[in-house]
Amino acid sequence: MARGVIVRRARVEDEGTLAEMISAFRVELARFRGWEQGPDLEAAREELSDFRRKDCPVFVAETEGKPVGYLVCRVEGDVVWAEQLYVLPEFRRRGIGSALYAEAEKLREGLGGETVYNWVHPNNDTIISFLAKRGYTVLNLIEIRRPWPGEVPARKIRVGTHVFDY
Domain ranges of the chain: 5-165
Domain 5-165 of CATH type 3.40.350.10: no
- In 3-state terms the chain splits into helix, strand, coil percentages (rounded to 5) of 35, 25, 35
Angle, nearest 10°, between helix axes 15-32 and 41-53? 110
Of the candidates 97, 79, 56, the residue with the CA atom closest to the CA atom of residue 141: 79
Other Cβ atoms less than 10 A from the Cβ of 111: the count is: 13
As a whole number of angstroms, the distance between CA 127 and CA 118 comes to 10
- pTM of the predicted model over 0.75: yes
Per-residue pLDDT of the chain (166 residues; tens, 9 = 90+): 678 899 999 999 999 999 999 999 999 988 877 777 888 899 999 999 999 999 999 999 999 899 999 999 999 999 999 999 999 999 999 999 999 999 999 999 999 999 999 999 888 899 999 999 999 999 988 889 999 898 888 889 888 899 999 8
